[in-house]
Amino acid sequence: MNPSDFKTGSEEFIGEVDRRLRVYGNNRHFNRSNPLDELIFIILSAQTESYSYLETFRALREKFPTKESLFRAGLRSIEATIRGGGLSKKKAAQIKGTLTKIYSDTGKLSLRFLSDLNDDEVEEYLTSLPGIGTKSALCVMMYSLKRQVFPVDTHVWRICRRLGLTPQVPKPTPQMEKTLEAKVPRELRYTLHVNMVSHGREICTTYWPKCDKCMLADICPSAFKPDKVWGEWRNPQGFWKNYAEQKKQIR
């Protein structure tokens, strides 16, 4: 099967991608069903590896078992508890600021009221909270409120770009994210998102995608080709730079 067998961006093409990626089993990636827990979980996950933010979320829950105890805690105490996950000062301030605003707005430490709002209203409220952008808001909406939205994280954008579903740019604008969401049938948005995250972590990685192991290779126009868009925008640094140099020497 070749990419030409489908019209790029068609529902048929997207449906085939979704069908193949379901081998990952629709993994929730430890996201939470309670919307306020999910919001805190997302704040902790920013720019952090999964093993690290899972540990800091657990540590935070153990230190502050109720939202009230977390709300009353001082910034330094929160920061010390989550220090192992990185960016602890920034994340502690976001958590404290978020809880403070929610309590100020509603008199409660809960986001359950969002269930009564429409999608636009939910997104507007969530993005009014400290440090919460569109992607984070949509994750809360999808994982905790079961809304049919399509969060575009780095894995989702990279895979969709390589599949020819988006403009060939390394980072999307908000309008590009909305345009991509509109292409994805509502009933496929959850499964496509969670399985693209799995696929991006395991196979369609940033620098060296494993096209020889990819279940999408025969319908992907980028298969077995260098990712020029990403490579020209950001050269590997640190560990990745050393790894790249080692690969060149081996070749």
User: Which residues are known catalytic residues?
Assistant: 135
The three-state DSSP-derived secondary structure of the chain is: CCHHHCCCCCHHHHHHHHHHHHHHCCCCCCCCCCHHHHHHHHHHHCCCCHHHHHHHHHHHHHHCCCHHHHHHCCHHHHHHHCHHHCCHHHHHHHHHHHHHHHHHHHCCCCCHHHHHCCHHHHHHHHCCCCCCCHHHHHHHHHHHHCCCCCCCCHHHHHHHHHCCCCCCCCCCCHHHHHHHHHHCCHHHHHHHHHHHHHHHHHCCCCCCCCHHHCCCHHHCCCCCCCCHHHHHHCCCCHHHHHHHHHHHHHC
| Cα 131 off chain centre by | 15
